[in-house]
A and B are shown apart, each in its own frame.
Chain A
Amino acid sequence: MAALPLIQNQVVNLNHWMTLIEFTDLITIAEMTPGPIAINAATFVGNRIAGIPGAIIATIGSILPSCIIVSILAWIYFKYRELAVIQGVLSGLRPTIVALIASAGLSILMLAVWGEGGFSLNPALINFTSVIIFAAALFILRKWKVKPIYIMLGSGLIGGVIYLII
């Protein structure tokens, strides 16, 4: 997410590989497809500029810095994780991650129920299909420990049926 302005700067402003409108389309597509936005953007732009080889190179370019830096951090972690300080830091970070996941999940739920507009008590603005799918899915997950894949497919199917029929 934070990478988007940077990507826009490179792709639209500096290198003129795409117009702003095309870039906005890209963001929409990237939100609709699986995978992190940065990779989706890289693949898409790379493909536009230089076909499949371009897509490959751009994708590699987008993950290489991560690979290098994370490898270094991983080495530090695996070598020094027994140290009290490291354990302390991580003990502070674990609950943080739980909170961040909650925040991300809640944001997605809000998007599903209220769309771009955000929270509102106005019933007309509430997407009840989303509410029902969410409640049903959560119930099924808690009660029968169904695999997430089935929930995704099922909710997609229900969404397809309901939104297209109504």
Chain B
Amino acid sequence: MKNQKNIYIKLFASTFYISAFTFGGGFVIIPLMKKKFVDDLHWIEENEMLNLVAIAQSSPGAVAVNAAILLGYRIKGILGALVTILGTVLPPFITLTVISFFYEAFRDNIVVNAVLKGMQAGIAAVIADVDLNLGANVVKEKDIVAVIIMVGAFIATFFLKINVMYIIIVCGFIGAAKILIQMKKIQKDGDSR
């Protein structure tokens, strides 16, 4: 019994901790979640984590909240999902409630601005570090279609600024088409024997 409770506490604490450091947009939480739940705790595999992030990205609403729901549910069921939702939502909730009482002073505070500017570069490094590993793993699989999708999606979103939803739909379609073609080929090879 105690072991079970410990997992929920660890799940909440980890999620809360991660959410408290998610500066610079909701997406930043993804690399942090990957480091924590895949690399440190080994509660989920990298590929499955990416699957969940894909679903989170494809759903309406903040990626961070969606990912929290999916991750929590995957790790510890409905209660796990509730725990992670709470862990994700509480840090911003508390921070903003406190700040809303003196937000002008906060917004204009030079120390706050200096620290945040410094953290911006730091966050970029964390994201780069995690994504270099993820990208290397994609390349390691030696699947040319996956690499093309990765490069194409990057160009589409960073340079062409195409809406993420379109990219997701197209890439999902390509993935599905690829598997169906592979299956057809296996079937054909089987028939011709």
B55 at the interface (CB under 8 A from A): yes
Nearest-neighbor residue (CB-CB) of A93 within chain B: B54
Q: Is the CB of B146 within 8 A of A34?
A: no
Q: A residues within 8 A CB of B89?
A: 35, 39, 59, 63
- State which residues 111-161 of A face B: CB under 8 Å: 111-113, 127, 129-131, 133-135, 137-138, 141-142, 147-149, 151-152, 154-160
A16 to chain B, nearest CB (A): 18
Consensus secondary structure, chain B interface: helix
For residue A40, give the distance in angstroms from its CB to the closest CB of chain B: 5
Q: Which of A1, A69, A97, A112 contacts B60 (CB 8 A)?
A: A69
Q: Is the CB of B51 within 8 A of A99?
A: no
Q: Residues of A contacting B180 with CB < 8 Å?
A: 84-85, 88
Cα–Cα distance between A26 and B124 once the two chains are bound (Å) = 24
Question: How distant is the Cα of A147 from the Cα of B35 in the complex, in angstroms?
Answer: 9
Which residue in A73, A93, A98, A158 is a CB contact (below 8 Å) of B134? A98
- State whether the Cβ of B168 lies closer than 8 Å to any Cβ in chain A: yes
**B52 CB, nearest partner CB in chain A, Å:** 8
Interface status of B183 (Cβ within 8 A of chain A): yes
Whether A44 touches B107, Cβ cut-off 8 Å, given contacts A70-B69, A90-B51, A149-B21, is: no
Q: How far is the CA of A100 from the CA of B163 in the complex (A)?
A: 11
Contact between B64 and A156 (Cβ–Cβ < 8 Å)?
no
B17/A130 in contact, CB under 8 A:
no
In the complex, how many angstroms separate the beta carbon of A66 from the nearest chain B beta carbon? 3
CB proximity of A56 to chain B, nearest CB, Å: 8
B178 sits at the interface (CB 8 A)? yes
User: What count of chain A residues pass the 8 Å CB interface test?
Assistant: 92
Docked pose: A62 CA to B122 CA in angstroms = 29
A74's contact among B22, B63, B69, B112, by CB below 8 Å, is which? Answer: B69
Contacts of A87 in B (CB 8 A): 179
- How long is the Cα–Cα vector from A147 to B129 in the complex, in angstroms? 11
A164 contacts B110, C-beta separation under 8 Å: yes
B176 to chain A: closest residue by CB:
A88
- Interface check A13, CB cutoff 8 A: no
A94 x B131 contact (CB < 8 A): no
Shortest Cβ gap from B22 to chain A (Å): 5
Are B183 and A155 in touch, CB under 8 angstroms?
no
Whether A92 is near chain B, meaning CB under 8 Å from some CB there, is yes
Docked pose: A104 CA to B158 CA in angstroms: 8
Q: Is A8 among interface residues, defined by CB-CB distance under 8 A?
A: no
Residues of chain B in range 102-125 having any CB-CB distance to chain A below 8 Å: 103-104, 106-107, 110-125
When distances are taken between beta carbons in the complex, the residues of chain A under 8 Å from B111 are 160, 164
Instruction: Return chain B residues, CB-CB under 8 Å to A20.
Output: none
Give residues of chain A (7-55) contacting chain B, Cβ–Cβ below 8 Å: 25-26, 28-40, 43-44, 47-48, 52, 55
> Given A35-B26, A35-B95, list of 7 further CB < 8 A pairs?
A37-B26, A38-B61, A39-B65, A70-B69, A102-B131, A106-B124, A164-B111
